[in-house]
Structure 1
Amino acid sequence: MEPEGFHRSPKSPQTPTSSDACNSISSAGDFHGTYPNFGGHTAYPSAPQGFPGISPPPTYRPIRAPSINLSPDSYRSQQQAIMLAPVPQPQRVTLVSLPYDFQVPTKRIHSPEDIERFHTSESGNNFLGFVAALSESIRGRKISDTCHQSVAVNSILSILETLVRWMDEIPPAPQSSRYGNVAYRAWHERLLEQSESLMLTFLPDHLKSSAVEIVPYFTDSFGNSSRIDFGTGHETNFAAWLYCLARMGIIREEDYQAVVARIFVKYLELMRKLQLVYCLEPAGSHGVWGLDDYHFLPFIFGSSQLIDHKHMKPKSIHNEDILENLSNEYMYLSSIAFIRKVKKGLFAEHSPLLDDISGVPNWKKVNSGLLKMYKAEVLEKVPIMQHFLFGWLIKWE
């Protein structure tokens, strides 16, 4: 049986440098533990050693090691569990009905037991099924392909354009630090002040009271103003916000392709600009031990776009001509091109997991593996999900 997996071990990581305005963006996401190998054993580099007795040079940015050190047996056991887990399948979103009970959402996850409770609940399964359905909606389609764009989709795009425009109105502040520009806090403060009015621009009268519940998901989708960082937990909040809109019927199944190819693509454009303009730190980054510093979902959606493509294979990410000419049409290629833009050095050294994925034989296996990995390495991690919110639309059951 052909292995659904990675075959090459990553080389020893080196601290990458970059040419962007922030000088450095490391190469992992909000991951705290194990990685699926999509079917084969993958060796991962040991954590880099610190500088005992001396301070690191001022240009050094440490690659952070995983916060949970597992024994080899536990590590292999968790890898095996991910490999054997079923691939998340698309689900229809369960619509809400009268009487409505919108409420301010709160944090409820504090332990692995809470994580298990969430994933065995109807809400947990339906949310993951919604992500899988979005992935399926873009399968084999380019970003520029014609798709149905409802009034709600166009309204959301207008809101995201407004957030982009705010960056031009709030330029980065002069400061000596290369990371975490304090002007981001002014941008985020405006977001908090105006989010409710932005939601009311597209909510129908009978659903305007839902603003109290959906605004917190929206405002948590663009990073943390105290830490001036962004990661896959914030990205998951954006997916949760979209899921809440789907629960209320504002977003419908016929909108899903536009939700990915228009809304999520615009969100990704916004977040990349935020990351570069305000030098956002990666939230919970662990250097080369993750998929990407900031995002996960564009790799899921982007791999779905490429399923059964006649010419492009996972290994095509190493072809510079393909990245240059087609990254505007495929999110996976766009994400790889962005990483190459902001990082110097060998791709296999600053992004070994993505390099390993390029050895998988086809995009269908990449997509199914990434869906399982998203569940295991994002939605099942307490350090990420402890910030996730629960109200009436996403119930704590």
Structure 2
Amino acid sequence: MSITFEIPGKRVLSSAQLTAFQSSATYNTITSYIEILNASVVGARLTDACSESLGINAILHLLDRIEQLAHETPPIENKASRFGNPAFRSFYDKVESVGLAIRLPSCLILTSAVFKLAPSLHADLPGLDQNATPELTTYFSQAWGNRERIDYGSGMELNFLCWLICLDRLQVVTASDHTALVTRVFWRYIQIMRVLQSTYWLEPAGSHGVWGLDDYHFLPFLFGSAQLRGTSQLVRHKFVRPKAIHDPEIVDELSKDYMYFSCIKFINSIKTASLRWHSPMLDDISAVKTWEKVNSGMIKMYQAEVLGKLPVIQHFLFGSILPYEGPPPPSSDESHHGDGHVHEGWGDCCGIPVPSAFAAAQKEREPGNRIEGPGIRPVPFD
């Protein structure tokens, strides 16, 4: 039976719709897929060999092209601001506008809309029904951040996960690829996002980062804690406990193999003071006795704080592969913004613009910017 694909769009604007989403087939698809990927990397290291199909290789090639676009789009001079660099919008437009011109007769003129809906980036994915390209590219484009606000958060990270779900449903990848989807594809995505965050000083979406884990990401900690389940396999650190994140030597050594420790090393590289100051949730989690409990807690936390929060899910995109089946949106007299979303509480959703930690770190390195003297302590972040 043929599938009628559609361009994904926002559907959830109220608490009632959010509740319906949480009991829907799409919600179950997302949570089940997270659990499948999570189980696929238990005890697996980033450096371990794993099955890499033609689909995985094609996806990695596509991601390489995204990083290349970033290197081809340097930040503009913007010393007066610690907020997002406007050059990110040029990068974003390039991601959307890498079109099919190289595959079509030169006499054919494409509109910008067609360029956006049919990027050549997806043309080489094996076995992909090209009718699905507009639906896929919507999730893909939205996974790199918000063009207007020049920010990034767990909602954009969720778009990348949805892109992977769609590729799985469309059989570009199969069950044998699940480990590689995490340790190769998803981790490559995180590495590219770090390039974008550091190059364009992307602001954390909302006003509070990802609930004390990381300014931008959640899933690397979820999958990363799965990798560390059963760490008795480790040689030098036979019984690595969650509290090991406070040991710089262990963090440095294990960062090559485990997402969790790599993220801790990254955070420590751009923020001063201790985790208690800038990542209180990570500091609290370090007191948990086992990685099994950390991992199960991360899954519950993701369901509650990402998939269960209206400020995040009101931006979720529903299409044909991940459909919306709940009640219609609220009446137009309900208070909402012109861009089609509501606020349920101060500081959520769009939040108050927060300068990038990369900007603060850069200013800290510049000579003459530090205030020094008796009793003066460095500010851990701003």
CA–CA distance in structure 2, aligned partners of residues 396 and 167 of structure 1: 33
Does the C-alpha gap of structure 1 residues 287 and 222 become closer, same or farther in structure 2, counting only changes over 3 Å? closer
Q: Answer yes or no: is the 8 Å Cα contact 1:220–1:237 preserved in 2.
A: yes
User: Where do 5+ consecutive residues of structure 1 fail to align?
Assistant: 1-97
Alignment map for 1:300-319 (pairs within 5 Å) = 300-310=222-232, 311-319=239-247
1:289 Cα offset (Å):
4.6
CA–CA distance in structure 1, aligned partners of residues 144 and 247 of structure 2: 32
Q: Answer yes or no: is the 8 Å Cα contact 2:5–2:135 preserved in 1.
A: yes
Q: Residue in 2 aligned with 1:330?
A: 258
The SS at the match of 1:256 is: helix
Which amino acid in 2 is paired with 1:174?
A: E
Q: Answer yes or no: is the 8 Å Cα contact 1:232–1:296 preserved in 2.
A: yes
In structure 1, which of residues 139, 153, 157 is the aligned counterpart of residue 56 of structure 2? 153
The C-alpha deviation readout for 1:194-216, integer Å capped at 9, x for no partner, is 272111121536x1100121111
CA–CA distance in structure 1, aligned partners of residues 219 and 211 of structure 2: 17
Structure 2 residue 48 is matched with structure 1 residue 107: no
Q: Residue in 1 aligned with 2:178?
A: 256
Does the C-alpha gap of structure 1 residues 212 and 203 become closer, same or farther in structure 2, counting only changes over 3 Å? farther
Q: Give the % identical residues.
A: 43
The SS at the match of 2:83 is: coil
The C-alpha deviation readout for 1:237-287, integer Å capped at 9, x for no partner, is 000010011111112111000000000110000001100011000001316
CA–CA distance in structure 2, aligned partners of residues 129 and 289 of structure 1: 23
Q: Answer yes or no: is the 8 Å Cα contact 1:110–1:386 preserved in 2.
A: yes
Which amino acid in 1 is paired with 2:224?
A: G
The SS at the match of 1:191 is: helix
Q: Answer yes or no: is the 8 Å Cα contact 1:288–1:350 preserved in 2.
A: no
Structure 2 residue 75 is matched with structure 1 residue 172: yes
TM-score, normalised by the number of residues in structure 1: 0.74
TM-score, normalised by the number of residues in structure 2: 0.76
The C-alpha deviation readout for 1:280-333, integer Å capped at 9, x for no partner, is 000013169532210000000000000021221101111111111110110000
CA–CA distance in structure 2, aligned partners of residues 146 and 173 of structure 1: 40
Q: Answer yes or no: is the 8 Å Cα contact 2:153–2:210 preserved in 1.
A: no
Q: Residue in 2 aligned with 1:119?
A: 22
CA–CA distance in structure 2, aligned partners of residues 182 and 289 of structure 1: 26
1:381 Cα offset (Å):
0.8
* Higher alpha-carbon deviation: 302-311 or 278-287: 278-287
CA–CA distance in structure 1, aligned partners of residues 253 and 305 of structure 2: 32
Q: Residue in 2 aligned with 1:226?
A: 148
The C-alpha deviation readout for 1:78-102, integer Å capped at 9, x for no partner, is xxxxxxxxxxxxxxxxxxxx22111
Structure 1 or 2, whichever has the larger Rg, is 2
User: Where do 5+ consecutive residues of structure 2 fail to align?
Assistant: 99-117, 233-238, 326-382
The SS at the match of 1:379 is: coil
Q: Answer yes or no: is the 8 Å Cα contact 2:75–2:199 preserved in 1.
A: yes
Alignment map for 1:203-222 (pairs within 5 Å) = 203-204=126-127, 207-222=129-144
Q: Residue in 1 aligned with 2:158?
A: 236
1:178 Cα offset (Å):
2.1
Q: Answer yes or no: is the 8 Å Cα contact 1:288–1:352 preserved in 2.
A: no
Q: Answer yes or no: is the 8 Å Cα contact 2:210–2:217 preserved in 1.
A: no
Which amino acid in 1 is paired with 2:243?
A: K
Q: Residue in 1 aligned with 2:123?
A: 200
Alignment map for 1:86-101 (pairs within 5 Å) = 98-101=1-4
Structure 2 residue 53 is matched with structure 1 residue 144: no
The structure, 1 or 2, with the larger RCO (C-alpha pairs under 8 Å, 6+ apart) is 1
Which amino acid in 1 is paired with 2:7?
A: V
Q: Residue in 1 aligned with 2:364?
A: none
Structure 2 residue 194 is matched with structure 1 residue 290: no
CA–CA distance in structure 2, aligned partners of residues 285 and 132 of structure 1: 28
